[in-house]
């Protein structure tokens, strides 16, 4: 039993990582790799949103705005001042963090559904602003001619190939997994969980709930900023369409599907939801139907998510019974 547990906990993720590493060396189809890169960007987003929704328990329906801030930041600093990608990455992370913290201010006073509406509104405001600030953001046409990343030593242009982005995203994901695991097991991580479970009790335990919320939004904003920068650097062109409300909902669905608060679960959820449409392409017209059906069945039979802890389910059951 213990052995089995150890295998599940260590070996499976390790093998999975190895497979992911050699995937582009085996599968030479550039389209497949390209799909994997966008899936990877969604994994980054899901990891970031998981900090806010899964760990701190704050429903955020406007996460695409965080992503947009990161992407437009790199696009603008690159187009105006020719700032290279690697520095842009940090600037995007910074603006993402600041945007996250700004949006956290309403979160200090509101909770639950009300906050969800505020975040939804903020997400829409950002998208509409991007659409209409023609002189800065290029309006609906977006921004063109953003520099792709390149390496100085050895001299290498990322260009429009897919493989370099694949490894860039992969390393970013591994880095964030490392960081997030540290955060989860820390004093701050415990404070986030306490906030999710019972905000009032948490505040009576000596937790500065305002700071806890602010830091969760900051970490979530940082990761979305990085993801946005990578997205802009890879595409070379961005427009408000890519930061639609649907993106927020998709990322949230990934987090919920995989399992709130579980890093592995969230990664799995993001991979499934971004790759599934590709596999369902054959059933083109039924695609959204099957997708919706899968989500409904999921909520009925495994509401805690694929890899979510079982206790969420127990909780859910108890609540249903008491009604």
Partner 1 sequence: MKAKTSLSEFPILTLQEVTKRFGGVGALEQVSFTVDHGKIVGLIGPNGAGKTTLFNCITGLSAPDSGFIYFGDSQASLAHLYPYQVTVNGIARTFQTIRLFKNMTALENIMVGAHSKARAGLWGALFRPEWVKLEQKKLRDHAHQLLAFFGLSSRANELAGNLSYGHQRKLEIARALASDPKLLLLDEPAAGMNPKEKEELLDLIRAIRERGVTILLIEHDMKVVMLVSEHVIVLDYGKKIAEGSPKKIQNDPRVIEAYLGKDFKK
- Residue 193 or 237 with smaller CB distance to partner 1: 193
**What's the gap between Cα 253 and its chain centre?**
11
Tokens at 20, concatenated: 């992911």
State both tokens at 271.
């991979």
Tokens of 78: 């690159």
The answer to whether 201 contacts partner 1 (rule: CB under 8 A) is yes
Paired tokens of 214: 């602010």
Measured from the CB of residue 78, what is the shortest distance to partner 1 in angstroms? 28
Closest of 297, 276, 300 to residue 288, by C-alpha: 276
Q: Give 205 or 296: the residue with its C-beta nearer to partner 1.
A: 205
Strand duo 150-151 + 156-157: pairing: antiparallel
Query: 153: buried, middle or exposed (CB in 10 Å: 19+, 13-18, 0-12)?
Result: exposed
According to the binding rule CB under 8 A, does residue 315 interact with partner 1?
Answer: yes
Q: Which of 29, 30, 133, 198 contacts partner 1 by CB under 8 A? A: 198
DSSP for 94-117 reads HHHHHHHHHHHHHHHH--HHHHHH
In the complex, minimum distance from the CB of residue 39 to partner 1, in angstroms, rounded to a whole number? 27
**Helix 30-50, helix 245-258: angle, nearest 10:** 80
Q: How far apart are CA 281 and CA 130, in angstroms?
A: 31
In angstroms, what is the minimal distance from the CB of 315 to partner 1? Answer: 7
Contact partners, residue 126, CB within 8 Å, separation at least 6: 62, 64, 65, 68, 69, 243
Among 1, 204, 285, 300, interactor with partner 1 by CB under 8 A: 204
Q: Does 190 bind partner 1 (CB under 8 A)?
A: yes
For residue 270, the minimal CB distance to partner 1 (Å) is 23
Q: Which of residues 218-247 bind partner 1 (CB under 8 A)?
A: 219
**Quick one: which of 18, 205, 288, 296 contacts partner 1 (CB under 8 A)?**
205
Q: To the nearest whole angstrom, how small is the minimum distance from the Cβ of residue 206 to partner 1?
A: 3
CB under 8 A: which stretch of 39-47, 84-92, 202-210, 249-257 binds partner 1? Answer: 202-210
Residue 134 or 197 with smaller CB distance to partner 1? 197
CB of 150 or CB of 193, closer to partner 1: 193
**Which x/- pattern, by CB under 8 A, does the window 150-189 give for partner 1?**
-----------------------------x--xx--xxxx
The single residue among 135, 206, 300, 321 that binds partner 1, judged by CB under 8 A, is 206
């Amino acid at each position: 039993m213990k052995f089995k547990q150890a295998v599940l906990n260590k070996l499976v993720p390790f093998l999975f990582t190895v497979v992911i590493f050699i995937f582009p060396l085996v599968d030479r189809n550039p389209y497949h790799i390209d799909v994997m890169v966008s899936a990877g960007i969604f994994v980054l987003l899901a990891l970031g949103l998981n900090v806010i929704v899964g760990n701190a328990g704050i429903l955020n329906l406007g996460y695409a705005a965080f992503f947009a801030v990161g992407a437009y930041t790199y696009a603008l600093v690159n187009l105006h001042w020719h700032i290279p990608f690697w520095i842009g990455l940090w600037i995007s992370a910074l603006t993402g963090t600041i945007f996250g913290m700004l949006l956290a201010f309403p979160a200090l006073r509101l909770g639950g559904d009300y906050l969800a509406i505020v975040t939804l509104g903020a997400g829409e405001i950002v998208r509409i602003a991007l659409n209409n600030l023609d002189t800065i953001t290029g309006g609906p046409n977006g921004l063109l001619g953003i520099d792709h990343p390149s390496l100085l030593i050895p001299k290498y242009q990322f260009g429009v190939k897919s493989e370099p982005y694949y490894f860039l995203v992969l390393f970013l994901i591994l880095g964030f997994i490392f960081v997030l695991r540290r955060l989860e097991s820390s004093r701050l991580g415990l404070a986030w969980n306490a906030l999710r479970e019972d905000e009032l009790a948490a505040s009576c335990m000596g937790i500065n709930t305002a700071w806890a919320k602010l830091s969760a939004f900051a970490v979530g904003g940082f990761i979305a900023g990085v993801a946005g920068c990578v997205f802009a650097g890879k595409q070379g062109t961005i427009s408000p369409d890519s930061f639609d409300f649907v993106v927020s909902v998709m990322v949230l669905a990934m987090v919920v599907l995989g399992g709130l608060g579980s890093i592995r679960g969230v990664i799995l959820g993001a991979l499934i939801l971004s790759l599934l449409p590709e596999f369902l392409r054959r059933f083109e017209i039924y695609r959204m139907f099957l997708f919706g059906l899968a989500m409904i069945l999921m909520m009925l039979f495994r509401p805690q998510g694929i890899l979510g802890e079982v206790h969420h389910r127990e909780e859910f059951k108890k609540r249903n019974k008491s009604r």
